[in-house]
Structure 1
Amino acid sequence: MNLGLYMAQRLSAMVMVPLVFGHLGVMIYAIQGGLTTAEILERTMGSLWWFLFYGCFVVAVSIHSAIGMRVIVHEVLKLRGLALELVMWAFGISILFLGARAVMAVTML
């Protein structure tokens, strides 16, 4: 793996760590508070804060997972060069698209 990909994966991990702890904290709060799905959606709909929080999370996860999967696909399937790049770009963009749809579903009116 080249240095740029290595650094991008490490930086995305650094971004993800506080977001994971924040997400876990919110989940624990919601569960212990007995919030229903409707009550959670009432709090997240139209919120720029939650949109930015989970939007950053999705971007970081997309970068991190695509780079990690690139290494695994290279080792297991022996893909190289353009084929590897195309498969991993498709994977990363797919994860980004699916995550963005989920964020939009719970934060936008």
Structure 2
Amino acid sequence: MVLAPCERHVAGIVCGGASGRHDYRDSGGLSSTEILQRTSGNYAMGVFYSVFTIAAAVHSSIGLRTVAFEVLGWRGASVNLILTVFFLMLCVTGISAVGGLVL
């Protein structure tokens, strides 16, 4: 929730030039090639999105653990193991996506 305005601001800078024009990328103004040209080599954005990716993975894992407990009644080490694997998968796929944008 705290990072959502930041994400919109970064998307506006990368895709629209100003935070108020963050929807520019959806209006047919930029192709995927142009977006990749703007993000390639921008390591500050890579760090930001890496932190955002890890925070999202932590948040979703904690939320799913709560759902598993409250709805399914699933407790114990098995749910922790499954959600740890889920967390690691989200981190790996998210960080690889960031790498694809920045590197």
Q: Same fold (TM over 0.5)?
A: yes
String of CA shifts for 1:64-103, please: whole Å, max 9, x gaps.
1110111112233322111111011111111111101110
Equivalent residue for 1:68, pick from 63, 66, 69: 63
The residue type equivalent to 2:100 in the other structure is A
**Aligned runs of 1:40-55 on 2, under 5 Å?**
40-55=35-50
Query: Does structure 1 residue 19 correspond to structure 2 residue 6?
Result: yes
Structure 1 CA distance for aligned equivalents of residues 11 and 67 of structure 2 = 27
Corresponding residue number in structure 1 for 2:18: none
The alignment covers a number of residue pairs equal to 95
Structure 1 CA distance for aligned equivalents of residues 69 and 77 of structure 2 = 12
Structure 1 CA distance for aligned equivalents of residues 58 and 90 of structure 2 = 9
Structure 1 CA distance for aligned equivalents of residues 49 and 99 of structure 2 = 9
Structure with the bigger percentage of helix = 1
| Runs (5+) with no aligned partner, structure 1 | 1-12
Equivalent residue for 2:94, pick from 79, 92, 99: 99
Give runs of ≥4 in structure 1 deviating > 4 Å: none
| Runs (5+) with no aligned partner, structure 2 | 16-21
The residue type equivalent to 2:67 in the other structure is I
Aligned pair in 2 of structure 1 residues 50, 20: CA closer, same or farther (>3 Å)?
Answer: closer
Which structure is richer in relative contact order (CA contacts within 8 A, separation 6 or more)?
1
The residue type equivalent to 2:80 in the other structure is E
Aligned-partner SS, 1:35: coil
Aligned-partner SS, 1:77: coil
In the TM superposition, residue 30 of structure 1 has moved relative to its aligned partner by 2.5
Q: Cα RMSD (Å) of the superposition?
A: 2.0
